[in-house]
Amino acid sequence: MFKPILSLGFILSLAACSTSPDPVDERIEAAIKLCHSDSAKAFSQTVDGLRVMCHSGSSYVIRGDISLDDIVEMDRVYCSSMGIRDFISSQEGEVKLSCVDGSSYVL
């Protein structure tokens, strides 16, 4: 009886450890995908979303269900992979996107 409970406790503790993302890993992943660098000028993960400022001048305010991969895809589709200058998303899913070339979109 004791051995199955101990095994279950160990498995649950491993699952709990693996589900919480490391904030440093999140910051590095955001910098690499958004700033095309291994560092960002400013980074904050707050209750209302993720904010990233790049050394290049690009800035991102990410709220809602938008992932970093979604933003990379928007850069490819709308900015021809030339870079996003400003990106703001809302909780409701609206996205305001400005490309480095000067074009702007509201999605």
* SS3 state at 55: coil
The total of structural domains in the chain comes to 1
Average pLDDT, the chain: 84
Tell me, yes or no, whether 37 lies in a domain.
yes
Place of tokens 């491993």: 14
- pLDDT of 2 reads 45
> Which residues constitute the domain of residue 44?
22-106
Tell me, yes or no, whether 13 lies in a domain.
no
Tell me, yes or no, whether 45 lies in a domain.
yes
- pLDDT of 9 reads 52
d(CA 25, CA 70): 18
Name the residue among 85, 92, 53, 87 with its Cα closest to residue 70. Answer: 87
Per-residue tokens: 79: 């900015």
Query: Which positions of the chain have pLDDT values less than 70?
Result: 1-21
d(CA 30, CA 8): 35
